[in-house]
Amino acid sequence: MKAGQTLWTREELILAINLYCKLPFGRLHKGNPEIIHLAKLIHRTPSAVALKLVNFASFDPSLRARGIKGASNASKLDSQIWNEFYSDWETLAFESEKLLKKYDPSIVILPAKDDFSVIERIGSTRERIVKTRVNQDFFRKMILASYNNTCCITGLNIPELLVAGHIIPWSKDEKNRLNPRNGIAINALHDRAYELGYLTIMPDYTIKIASSLKKDNSLRNRELFLQYNEKAIILPSRFLPDPDILKYHNEKCFLG
């Protein structure tokens, strides 16, 4: 560590990884307004924050698989915080959102009636509802950022028309509810078709359309579905879908 520098605290690193998850990979630079804002909150330079985000990239297994190594000067605490997040997304996502609200009260994470200040005075059921809503919003931001606000099937890039779809349904796998490798950015129509098993994504990231849809060779059906059969999805810049999780959908949900 250079003279005059101070060690990063656990809270600062949690805020940094929160931002890492929400930014498209190509925007991890000191000129990004969101990086500049976080730097002001924690009294560090934008360059220091940007470097820390790149440090986290060095731990991302899906980036490593593509030969992207990130920075090489990550600390042991960087690694510890990354591993905590990666092994327990649900707990750490919520903790990071609460921490962000603490550092910047102006940030609106949920409507006023769900403000974190009331959590201590409400019942456990209410708290679970708040946590679920916060985590769902975090998951959406993380997935859309990973896919650069682009539908992995069609290439549609209007965020308002996209959803952060779960490969293994939310209700079926509590452990992977917030796991970004269990998520895809997809438009609402194809998300519904995916949920119902009319299409799936194979472990090699190609799309398969169910045989029941193939029977309809109308122009509309060809445009909406058949043209994508056997084509590769648009891959995210990080957090590639886990092949084993994709297999679950292939075997348990796809109509074949």
For residues 140 and 166, membership in a common domain is answered with no
For residues 155 and 131, membership in a common domain is answered with no
Q: Are 81 and 62 in contact (CB under 8 A)?
A: no
Would 107 be classed as within a structural domain? yes
For residues 153 and 71, membership in a common domain is answered with no
Would 1 be classed as within a structural domain? no
For residues 27 and 119, membership in a common domain is answered with yes
Domain end point (choices 102, 119, 144): 144
For residues 180 and 54, membership in a common domain is answered with no
On the question of pLDDT at 153 being above 60, the answer is yes
For residues 18 and 140, membership in a common domain is answered with yes
Lowest mean pLDDT among 81-85, 109-113, 141-145, 204-208: 109-113
Domain end point (choices 144, 164, 188): 144
Would 5 be classed as within a structural domain? no
- Provide the residue range defining the domain that includes 39: 10-144
For residues 127 and 23, membership in a common domain is answered with yes
- pTM for the complete prediction? 0.88
Q: How many CB atoms lie within 10 A of CB 75?
A: 14
Looking at residue 129, what is its pLDDT?
79
> What is the C-alpha separation between 162 and 144, in angstroms, rounded?
8
For residues 182 and 241, membership in a common domain is answered with yes
For residues 16 and 138, membership in a common domain is answered with yes
For residues 157 and 245, membership in a common domain is answered with yes
On the question of pLDDT at 219 being above 50, the answer is yes
Domain end point (choices 121, 144, 167): 144
Lowest mean pLDDT among 12-16, 103-107, 154-158: 103-107
- Calculate the average pLDDT of the chain: 89
Higher pLDDT, 120 or 23: 23
Would 136 be classed as within a structural domain? yes
Q: Which residues contact 123 (CB under 8 A, 6 or more apart)?
A: none
Mean pLDDT of all residues in 235-254: 95
Q: How many domains does the chain have?
A: 2
For residues 122 and 240, membership in a common domain is answered with no
Would 3 be classed as within a structural domain? no
For residues 225 and 197, membership in a common domain is answered with yes
Would 167 be classed as within a structural domain? yes
Would 118 be classed as within a structural domain? yes
Q: Are 95 and 84 in contact (CB under 8 A)?
A: no
